[in-house]
Amino acid sequence: MTTATYGYRPDYAVAPGSVLAERLAAHGLSQAELARRCGRSPKLISDIIAGKASLEPETALQLERVLAVGAHIWLGMESDYRLHRTRLADDERIQDSVAWVRRFPVKEMGKRRLIAVTTGKGSVSELLSFFGVASVSAWKDRYGKVAVAYRHSPSFESNRDAFAVWHRTVEVRAAKQECAEYDKKAFYESLMGIRQLTRTWSPGALPKSQALCNSAGVALAVVKPFSGMRLSGAAWWPSARNPVIALTARHKTDDQLWFSMFHEAAHILLHGKRRVFIDEPRGSDDAMEDEANRWAANFLIPQPMWRQFVGQEDLGCDAVRRFADDQGIPPGIVVGRLQHEKRVPWNSNLNSLKTKLRWSDERGRS
């Protein structure tokens, strides 16, 4: 996604008054004579030439008849000139906002083609267009409130401005998804289908998961985190019709990605529409976060099956593979739960059973 879709835009505009003066000279007419032929006051013609008065449609038609230059040409020059003057004034106004831009990960945004200009006053306009607002004050009113909502969580540790960029990127991607109206039963059924997709990781797993979510009325977006972000996922209801689940795949392993997916899904299924939910590493004492964790864990591995498995002595690679096969999930999810419950260390050789993920722009790197 990029906001730089406007094509070539010159940094100048021809004033219609200067063209009018040239045409008068070419026709050998004085301003007073033009005024008489048009039936207008000499002062109006003088003010148009001086750029003090706008060239209105009625005047453009009169000039078309007297000077044989189409009215649409005069009005086009007038429109371009006035827009150019307004843009210059706006550039002067936003010059004071250049410092505001420095708060954001603009270099990363440039690399991801979210914005085209990353320095100077042009970056202010680019950033405002990216957020879909007309001014910094409008940004504070819109996205400042978003940050406040997330700040309610005691676990929120991410850089708030980097988070705002990530949140907006999710918004744009979610808005492009064609979702049915949310249906709780259909969403649960779609999650059963996604659980099956976890079994064999492939490039199509996430698009298929998104399609299943969309069919049940939920937008799903996986967006690479920006520097300074620590969250793994988030869920919120931008409207009463369609909730959004957003994931970062920050840890780049299949177990973390899928658990975050089902954790956020639990918030959609179990909790209210007025709250926003985040998944950050420090965790939270919030009862709803604990409930979402339990729901996701039991959805992936039913508690009776889990108790039976961890009750045995053998928790090695072969045992984990067999248990994962029986449950119809990848072994990495089993390893992640064992580590979370401190039954095996985080640096266990079982980590070899996890599928490592990487972003498309990281391919070929070591």
Residues 89 and 111 in one domain: no
Tell me whether residue 7 is in a domain. Answer: no
Read off the CATH number of the domain in which 87 is found: 1.10.260.40
What sign does the CA torsion over 314, 319, 324, 325 have? negative
**Structural domain that includes position 82:** 16-95
Tell me whether residue 284 is in a domain. Answer: yes
Judged on CB neighbours under 10 Å (0-12, 13-18, 19+), 227 is exposed
Q: Is the confidence at residue 156, as pLDDT, over 70? A: no
Residue ranges of E strands in 237-364: 244-247, 277-279
Residues 30 and 121 in one domain: no
Q: Is the confidence at residue 144, as pLDDT, over 50? A: yes
Q: What value, to the nearest 5°, has the Cα angle with vertex 185 and ends 184 and 190? A: 95
Residues 80 and 220 in one domain: no
288 touches 271 (CB < 8 A): yes
Q: Give the pLDDT band (50/70/90) at residue 138.
A: confident
Q: Is the confidence at residue 215, as pLDDT, over 80? A: yes
Residues 175 and 308 in one domain: yes
Summarised one tens digit per residue, pLDDT across range 37-46 is 999 999 999 9
Q: Give the pLDDT band (50/70/90) at residue 153.
A: very low
d(CA 176, CA 193): 23
Tell me whether residue 266 is in a domain. Answer: yes
Tell me whether residue 191 is in a domain. Answer: yes
Q: Which of 39, 67, 95 is the last residue of a domain?
A: 95
Tell me whether residue 9 is in a domain. Answer: no
Tell me whether residue 236 is in a domain. Answer: yes
Residues 207 and 354 in one domain: yes
Tell me whether residue 257 is in a domain. Answer: yes
Specify the number of domains making up the chain. 3
Residues 73 and 105 in one domain: no
Q: Which of 143, 159, 175 is the last residue of a domain?
A: 159
Q: Give the pLDDT band (50/70/90) at residue 333.
A: very high
Largest CA distance in the chain: 106
pLDDT of the residue at 146: 61
Residues 204 and 122 in one domain: no
Q: Which residue has the higher pLDDT, 128 or 278?
A: 128
Residues 294 and 329 in one domain: yes
Residues 230 and 348 in one domain: yes
Q: Is the confidence at residue 203, as pLDDT, over 80? A: no
Residues 22 and 136 in one domain: no
Q: Is the confidence at residue 309, as pLDDT, over 70? A: yes
**Angstrom distances, CA of residue 168 to CA of 103, 162, 185:** 15, 10, 29
Q: Is the confidence at residue 148, as pLDDT, over 50? A: no
Q: Which residue has the higher pLDDT, 69 or 11?
A: 69
Q: Is the confidence at residue 94, as pLDDT, over 90? A: no
Q: Which residues are 279's β-sheet partners?
A: 233
Tell me whether residue 283 is in a domain. Answer: yes
Residues 252 and 205 in one domain: yes
Residues 232 and 343 in one domain: yes
Q: Which of 72, 95, 118 is the last residue of a domain?
A: 95
Summarised one tens digit per residue, pLDDT across range 65-79 is 999 999 999 999 999
